[in-house]
Amino acid sequence: MIYRVLATKLRRLGCEFVRQAPGSHEIWRNPRNQRFTTIPHSRGRDIAKGTLAAILRDLGLTSRDINGV
């Protein structure tokens, strides 16, 4: 999954961009449970499966949540 698709799905689930982090990373927050994560913002490149799994775990989401949007 590329960054743009992930960001769109996270916004639909209620997550929000908080701030730019060092390099090409961003900090995102899930306001429902106040959990944060860091997401790499590499244009056009897929986010690795393990990284995607960690992002979802950090935000308290499941792959069903993200695929259902």
Q: In the chain, what are the domain boundaries?
A: 3-67
Average pLDDT over residues 31-55: 94
Residues 69, 67: Cα–Cα separation, whole Å: 6
Average pLDDT over residues 47-61: 96
Residues 24, 57: Cα–Cα separation, whole Å: 21
pLDDT on residue 1: 92
pLDDT digits (tens, 9 = 90+) for 11-34: 999 999 999 999 999 999 999 999
Adjacent-strand bridge partners of 2 = 46
* Reported pTM: 0.91
CATH architecture of 3-67: 2-Layer Sandwich (3.30)
pLDDT on residue 12: 96
Q: Identify whether the C-beta of residue 34 lies closer than 8 Å to the C-beta of residue 16.
A: no
